Amino acid sequence: MYSEKQYAKLVLEDGSVFQGNFFGSEKTVNGEVVFNTGMLGYPESLTDPSYRGQILVLTYPLIGNYGIPAYDKEDGLFKYFESEKIQVQGLIVTDYSENYSHWNAKKSLSDWMVENNTPGIYGIDTRELTKKLRKKGSLLGKILYNDEKIHFEDPNKRNLVAEVSIKKPIIYKKGKKKVVLIDCGTKNNIIRAFLKRNFTVIRVPWDFDFLDEKADGIIISNGPGDPKKCNETIKNVKKTLTKNIPILGICLGSQILGLAAGASTYKLKFGHRGHNQPCIEVGTNRCYITSQNHGYAVDSDTLPEDWREWFYNNNDETNEGIKHFSKPFFGTQFHPEASPGPDDTEFLFDMFIRSMK
């Protein structure tokens, strides 16, 4: 439970101070403050490893009203979460609902956050905060408990992928066809997407030399932070590009694929995080509404001649996908697996599977 009397502060590196009340764990943390425009899906978002090192602001005003589901497992994975634990540094909301109601709810959001030692603040004007982040860009911040003093820390200077990736390979057995999943902070639903298509998934650490694995395809997962920190992954993917093994990069994986191909990446002003990002497929009039969570992007102007831009964002025209002209190499900046968000682009998994011989 949260206490109405326990005040908390969110302090930003530009000197701004937002005051509210604690829920979840009462502690001091720091991180990069980012916002998500999704209306639901907080259990999935909070467990998404791409949020490692970040304090998440949810723009939808009422959070917690449907509680937290059970820790049920299927195929060795949590059914309702995207990883084994909460990944965000902290959570900022306008109104926290202590009373929850859902057929599958087992506990409150606050109790779950206490279990994961994660602080939250409610009573913040998230509209004002989001406008500041859109104007100035993502800012470093800290949640303060009892006015403790800590320094601002930029999590993007760390190798966040190494922090969230598994340490040794895990095999999820299904069918005869196999895919290697490079775990840069993968969401569980990427694994589920291939298991339900009867593929065996060989999940390997971010720096694992997977070239000796006999697989029909390679997936480079989503993950947190600056893709340029993933030197070992980039090196291994670059070697794989000399072969004709189909490759699919998702989110950070698309950025790593671009870097391995010879393109450049850069940090976006405030990133794309939400379930309603419109993406245009180049050469068509077709727009897909996509789920996204990223702060970096491929510079499409730096793509080599044998690569082309596949999708772009209809809001700011930044790159949302890359594709090789003749080989089965694909990258999507958005999340075809959704969870949370729309699954309109899940067909891309089937397209990738068709490219496997």
> Which overall architecture, per CATH, does domain 160-354 show?
3-Layer(aba) Sandwich (3.40)
Under 8 Å between Cβ of 130 and 270: no
- List, for residues 18-63, the tens digit of each pLDDT value: 999 999 999 999 999 999 999 999 999 999 999 999 999 999 999 9
SS3 193: helix
Which residues are part of the catalytic machinery? 251, 335, 337
Under 8 Å between Cβ of 77 and 188: yes
Under 8 Å between Cβ of 113 and 23: yes
Task: List the domain boundaries for the chain.
Answer: 7-157, 160-354
List, for the chain, all residue ranges whose pLDDT scores fall below the cut of 70: 1-5
Q: Is 160-354 in the same CATH topology as 7-157?
A: no
> What span, in angstroms and rounded, lies between the C-alpha atoms of 28 and 150?
8
- List, for residues 179-196, the tens digit of each pLDDT value: 999 999 999 999 999 999
* Strand pairing category for 95-96 and 62-63: parallel
Under 8 Å between Cβ of 332 and 310: yes
DSSP sequence for 126-171: HHHHHHHHHHH-SEEEEEESTT-------GGGS-HHHHHS-SS-EE
pLDDT for the residue 211: 86
pLDDT for the residue 3: 44
Helices (H), the chain: 42-46, 109-115, 126-136, 160-164, 188-195, 231-240, 252-261, 347-354
Bridge-partner residues for 121, per DSSP? Answer: 22, 92
pLDDT for the residue 168: 96
Choices 3.30.420.10, 3.40.710.10, 3.40.50.1970, 3.50.30.20: CATH for 7-157: 3.50.30.20
> What span, in angstroms and rounded, lies between the C-alpha atoms of 128 and 97?
21
Measured N-to-C along each axis, helices 231-240 and 252-261 cross at an angle, to the nearest 10 degrees, of 60
Query: What is the number of H-type helices and E-type strands within the chain?
Result: 8, 23
